[in-house]
């Protein structure tokens, strides 16, 4: 009997020891903290894991977080899928490590199986890849900054990792995952209901602090169904330094000549005979591109009886509905419904996109907020480049960014957008209205990301006074 007990004790001890050895290493805070003489020192001021369960290159706000942390001497592990070009500030930065998540197997990326099968399998893959990356492929960190959405399975894994590694969790709320899902499934779909209460429960229970993109969102998170009681800080999106107005006509001329999409229209754009319109879209249902198409068709029809200049519309971005709309554009062009309208699509580098905005006459934003309390970062970038905006404004938080008649114009229907285009581009007005909006856009764009971030996130992380 004694030998059996000793044997069981030995087995239990071995298993327990193995489990302890397999546990990820934990963050240990130095007390007192080690001094940092420069940003190249071996010991950073703080360490932060920045997590995006998506393409890092298409997550500008999270990239800005990483750059700002490193700028103040913090070490950053930037974790996410590496699919497109990264922000220049992330590349070759000694304080920033890019930790790519492994993509799902091809079977899970195909559309051969129904969503009810693919969905759970994809979540299981994400659970494993996230846990393995956060627990074993990266060093323990003082903070874990997580983008939400997506919340499944990100928030669940983040809580476990923070418990195991002695890490503090910050959720950066860009929107709500369940409202995005409801846009395609409906609010009463079982997956949507589960997602809603999953997100609310973990969002309430998990974080040390939360960031939100609007005051309206912060207000919602303090009430049902979230009832978050941890500190919530509004951190508005602001333009990065790369988005700047162009004051030199020669610089504008040189860029327009060198960009293939505008090269053939340069002289007319510079002379005001053709108006350059830019819109960035994800080609998804929550950005209804048909609003802009219908408005341009109306503009084209009106131009036969009213002195309106031609429009060159450049649409940037990638997404699932792009080919659908390219086919529709071709059909409308062939049927002569887009007379004096030229629509081109493009995928530009960050540098070229920023300069294109500065060279344009008007930016158009088609973002429709699924929650009613988020804001499109593309408008922020347009203001940074001094570009006035016409945007879909039928949601609560729109007024936190765009001041009607001051730095932009809002619309709810394609008819209203057509009226805005006609008013701003009408040759009888000699451009006075759009010039006034441009002044307002430049004024709004003066407050930059660094200033906003230092006063909110920098203070919370202990990097700024």
Length of the chain measured in residues: 465
Extended strands (E) in 246-395: 275-280, 311-316, 341-346, 362-365, 389-392
Residue 428 confidence (pLDDT) above 80? no
Q: Do 230 and 218 touch, CB atoms closer than 8 A?
A: no
Query: Which pTM value belongs to this model?
Result: 0.86
End-to-end CA distance of the chain: 65
Task: Output the CA angle 209-73-460, nearest 5 degrees.
Answer: 20
SS3 166: coil
In eight-state DSSP terms, residue 24 is P
d(CA 366, CA 57) in angstroms, rounded, equals 21
Under 8 Å between Cβ of 53 and 126 = yes
DSSP state of 455: I
Confidence of residue 33 (pLDDT cuts 50, 70, 90): very low
pLDDT at 4 over 70: no
Instruction: Describe the crossing of helices 154-165 and 115-136 by its angle, rounded to 10 degrees.
Output: 20
Pairing of strands 341-346, 362-365: unpaired
Name, in order, each residue with C-beta under 8 angstroms of 95's C-beta and a sequence gap of 6 or more.
Answer: 39, 44, 69, 70, 73, 74, 75, 76
Beta strands 75-81 and 168-173 are unpaired
Token pair of 115 as six digits: 């969503």
How far CA 359 is from CA of 240, 255, 352, 363, 437, in Å, comes to: 17, 8, 10, 10, 15
Task: Name the phi and psi angles at 52, rounded to 5.
Answer: -130, 115
The confidence band for 41, taking pLDDT boundaries of 50, 70 and 90, is: very low
Give 114's contacts (C-beta < 8 A, 6+ positions apart): none
Short-list 46, 92, 90, 29, CA closest to 65: 90
Dihedral (CA of 350, 351, 354, 360) sign: negative
> Which residues 6+ apart lie within 8 Å of 381 measured at CB?
239, 240, 243, 354, 357
pLDDT tier, 114 (very low <50, low <70, confident <90, very high otherwise): confident
Task: Return the higher-pLDDT residue of 188 and 38.
Answer: 188
Give the residue among 366, 363, 370, 365 at the shortest CA–CA distance from 395: 370
Mean pLDDT of the chain: 89
Report the 10 Å Cβ neighbour count for 99: 18
Cα 373 to Cα 397: distance, rounded to the nearest angstrom:
5
Q: How far apart are CA 59 and CA 282, in angstroms?
A: 12
- Least confident residue range of 114-118, 258-262, 313-317: 114-118
**Residue 132 has which token pair?**
């393995």
pLDDT tens-place string over residues 193-224: 999 999 999 999 877 999 999 999 999 999 99
Residue 71 zone, left/alpha/beta (φ > 0; ψ -120 to 50; rest): alpha
Cα–Cα distance for residue pair 217/228, rounded to 1 Å:
12
**Cα 365 from chain centroid (whole Å):** 14
pLDDT tens profile 130-187: 999 999 999 999 999 999 999 999 999 999 999 999 999 999 999 999 998 888 888 8
Indicate if the pLDDT at residue 12 is higher than 60: no
Taking only the tens place, the pLDDT of each residue in 352-394 is: 999 999 999 999 999 988 899 999 999 999 999 999 999 999 8
* 80 CB neighbour count, 10 Å cutoff: 23
Q: Please give the full DSSP string across 52-86, using - where no structure is assigned.
A: EEEEGGG-HHHHHHHHHHHHTT-EEEEEEE--SPP
Rounded Cα distance between 94 and 41, Å, is 10
């Amino acid at each position: 009997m004694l030998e059996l007990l000793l044997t069981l004790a030995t087995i239990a001890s071995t298993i327990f020891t193995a489990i302890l050895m397999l546990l990820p290493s934990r963050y240990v805070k130095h007390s007192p903290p080690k001094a940092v003489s420069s940003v190249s020192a071996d010991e950073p001021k703080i360490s932060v894991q920045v997590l995006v369960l998506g393409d890092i290159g298409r997550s500008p706000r999270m990239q800005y977080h990483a750059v700002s942390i490193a700028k103040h001497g913090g070490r950053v592990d930037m974790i996410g899928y590496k699919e497109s070009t990264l922000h220049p500030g992330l590349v070759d930065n000694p304080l920033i490590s890019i930790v790519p998540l492994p993509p799902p197997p091809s079977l899970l990326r195909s559309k051969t199986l129904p969503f009810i099968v693919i969905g759970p399998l994809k979540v299981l893959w994400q659970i494993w890849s996230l846990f393995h990356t956060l627990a074993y492929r990266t060093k323990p960190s003082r903070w874990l900054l997580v983008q939400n959405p997506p919340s499944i399975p990100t928030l669940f894994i983040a809580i476990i990792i923070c418990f195991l590694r002695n890490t503090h969790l910050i959720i950066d709320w860009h929107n709500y995952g369940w409202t995005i899902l409801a846009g395609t499934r409906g609010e009463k779909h079982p997956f949507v209901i589960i997602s809603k209460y999953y997100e609310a429960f973990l969002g309430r229970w998990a974080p040390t602090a939360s960031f939100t993109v609007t005051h309206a969102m912060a207000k919602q998170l303090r009430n049902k169904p979230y009832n978050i009681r941890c500190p919530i800080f509004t951190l508005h999106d602001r333009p990065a330094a790369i988005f700047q107005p162009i004051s030199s006509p020669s610089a504008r001329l040189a860029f327009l000549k060198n960009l293939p999409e505008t090269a053939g229209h340069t002289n007319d754009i510079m002379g005001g005979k053709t108006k350059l319109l830019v819109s960035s879209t994800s080609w998804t249902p929550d950005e209804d591109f048909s609003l802009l198409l219908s408005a341009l068709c109306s503009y084209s029809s009106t131009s036969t009886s009213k002195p309106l200049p031609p429009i060159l519309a450049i649409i940037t971005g990638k997404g699932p509905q792009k080919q659908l709309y390219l086919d529709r554009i071709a059909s409308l062009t062939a049927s002569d419904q887009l007379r004096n309208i030229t629509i081109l699509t493009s995928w530009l580098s960050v540098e070229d996109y920023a300069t294109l905005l500065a060279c344009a006459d008007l930016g158009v934003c088609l973002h429709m907020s699924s929650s009613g309390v988020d804001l499109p970062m593309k408008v922020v970038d347009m203001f940074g480049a001094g570009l006035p905006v016409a945007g879909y404004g039928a949601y609560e938080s729109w007024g936190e960014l765009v001041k009607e008649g001051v730095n932009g114009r809002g619309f709810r229907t394609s008819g209203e957008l057509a009226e805005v285009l006609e008013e701003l581009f009408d040759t009888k007005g000699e451009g006075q209205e759009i010039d006034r909006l441009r002044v307002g856009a430049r004024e709004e764009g003066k407050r930059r990301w660094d200033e906003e971030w230092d006063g909110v996130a920098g203070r919370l992380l202990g990097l700024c006074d």
